[in-house]
Amino acid sequence: DIQLTQSPSSLSASVGDRVTITCRASQDIGNYLHWYQQKPGKAPKLLIYAAVTLHSGVPSRFSGGASGADFTLTISSLQPEDFATYYCQHSYSTPLTFGGGTKVDVK
Amino acid sequence: QVQLQESGPGLVKPSETLSLTCTVSGDSVTSGSFYWSWIRQPPGKGLECLGYSYSSGSTKYNPSLKSRVVISVDTSKNQFSLELTSVTAADTAVYFCARGDVFDGFDSWGQGILVTVSS
């Protein structure tokens, strides 16, 4: 199975901060990497697909990056509605797996 | 805008079979190259994909479930379903149905249904 390791597992930030979350794959997965935002009691929402492509309706302050097996999700200026947990997920092969999540909370 | 809605019992006894249905509206389960998936999340924990099915009937399952899982698509009802046999307390989770694509991730999700395994 392909393992996805997210870091950090949690972080504290303030509104307006630039936030970067990393997801490292255990092997090459091309760009078959996607990012989701989940708020308590809600289903995850797709933010970024194919590592760098912004999903429809997602604010442009979210961006994705890729370098080899390392992927990043960046929020350029954190907004109050962005406090949530973020997950990466690969679709390179079965089983599809998710990273362990990164919780972004208020500093 | 496609919408997905999970339904089924919220309480299942140990050793029994968990059965859930996902009703799809706003699009057909036969459209595009999508697969139809079940993903679960134990309380306070991360996400686990149980597997997925294409409308053709082609399926892929997570080996960690050791042949306990079956996912099927009913094109006549525009639904897909999950059966998980021999459940234990470790199967207690919120179960989400989702539409996925190998290139685009899971772009549509149901709201989730909490299933508790307890006698």
User: CA-to-CA distance for A80 and A16, rounded, in angstroms?
Assistant: 9
Coil, helix or strand at residue B63? helix
Residue B32 has pLDDT above 90, yes or no: no
pLDDT value of residue A96: 97
Regions of chain A short of the pLDDT cut 50 = none
Question: Among B104, B117, B103, B101, which Cα is nearest to B34's?
Answer: B101
* Minimal-distance CA residue of chain A relative to B47: A98
Residue B66 has pLDDT above 80, yes or no: no
Candidates A91, A95, A100; nearest CB to B105: A91
List chain B residues with CB under 8 Å of A87: 46-47
Tell me the shortest Cα–Cα distance from B34 to chain A, in angstroms: 12
- Counting residues of chain B whose pLDDT is more than 70, the rounded percentage is 100
By DSSP bridging, strand A45-49 and strand A33-38 are: antiparallel
Mean pLDDT of chain A: 98
User: CA-to-CA distance for A48 and B50, rounded, in angstroms?
Assistant: 22
CA distances from A23 to A73, A79, A104 (A): 8, 22, 15
Question: Which of A 15-54 lie inside 8 A of B, CB atoms?
Answer: 32, 34, 36, 42-46, 49-50
Residue B58 has pLDDT above 90, yes or no: yes
Residue B27 has pLDDT above 90, yes or no: yes
* Minimal-distance CA residue of chain B relative to A98: B47
Write the pLDDT tens digit of every residue in A26-52. 999 999 999 999 999 999 999 999 999
Mutation choice for B interface testing from A91, A92, A93 by most B CBs within 10 A: A91
List chain A residues with CB under 8 Å of B109: 43-45
Region label for B10, one of left (φ > 0), alpha (ψ between -120 and 50) or beta (otherwise): alpha
pLDDT value of residue B15: 98
Question: Among B111, B108, B95, which Cα is nearest to B32's?
Answer: B108
Tell me the shortest Cα–Cα distance from A43 to chain B, in angstroms: 5
Q: How confident is the model at residue B31 (pLDDT cuts 50, 70, 90)?
A: confident
Candidates B62, B63, B106; nearest CB to A46: B106
Residue B60 has pLDDT above 90, yes or no: yes
**CB-count exposure of residue A66 (10 Å: 0-12, 13-18, 19+):** middle
Candidates A46, A50, A94; nearest CB to B60: A94
Question: What is the amino acid identity at position A99?
Answer: G
Question: What is the amino acid identity at position A31?
Answer: N
